[in-house]
Amino acid sequence: MNARVVVPLEDIQRDIRVMRREIVRRHQGPLPAPQTLGEYEQVLPGLAERIVSMAEREQAHRHELERTDLTQDYRISRAGQGLGLIALLVIAALAAYLGFLGHPGWAVAVAGIDIAAVVGVFVTGQWRSVEPVPDVPEELAEEEDPSQTIESEQRREIGQRRRAQRRDAPAESEGGDEG
């Protein structure tokens, strides 16, 4: 038995006319869009001010983290330079002392190693200090407003990748020169 379902023409026409209407708003940034912020304010008076205040505190916190990170990098760099200078002077004094004791061959060898180490540090230090400018992520490249900058989160990720590259660079160059 084949049962057929018969649907009246009016029902079919009514179903065809039903359309779905969807409004999508897109906003990127630390604060909601002004219209959304106004809607929050209507729901709970004072909420917009609290949201703006929260965004300001978050931004101040991120700036402080970035400032701390830069300060620590600078201090570590300066400490390394100071310790390197001390090591250089100690080895130079050792070479002079060996020469004074009558071991000119050893004095030249120690001084030569000292000079080679200093030249090596300057050559590799200059090579590593030249960092390429990071590519702009695709999401930001497609933005309509080209004046937008990379968000703090993305800057932090780029900084972390750079620090990881600097840490891994000596190990990679040592392993790549062998055999």
Predicted local distance difference test score (pLDDT) of residue 27: 76
Predicted local distance difference test score (pLDDT) of residue 18: 58
Average pLDDT over residues 25-49: 87
Using one digit for the tens of pLDDT, what is the confidence trace for 90-148? Answer: 988 999 999 999 999 999 999 998 888 888 877 776 555 555 555 555 555 544 444 44
Using one digit for the tens of pLDDT, what is the confidence trace for 55-98? Answer: 999 999 999 999 999 999 889 888 888 888 888 889 889 999 99
Average pLDDT over residues 28-41: 87
Predicted local distance difference test score (pLDDT) of residue 106: 92
Predicted local distance difference test score (pLDDT) of residue 147: 42
Question: Who wins on pLDDT, 19 or 101?
Answer: 101
Predicted local distance difference test score (pLDDT) of residue 161: 80
DSSP secondary structure, the chain, as one string? --------HHHHHHHHH-----------SSS--HHHHHHHHHHSTTHHHHHHHHHHHHHHHHHHHHHHHHHHHHHHHHHHHHHHHHHHHHHHHHHHHHHHTT-HHHHHHHHHHHHHHHHHHHHHHHHHH--PPPPPPHHHHT-S-TTPPPPHHHHHHHHHHHHHHHHHHHHHHHHHH--
Residue 175 has pLDDT above 50, yes or no: no
Residue 46 has pLDDT above 90, yes or no: yes
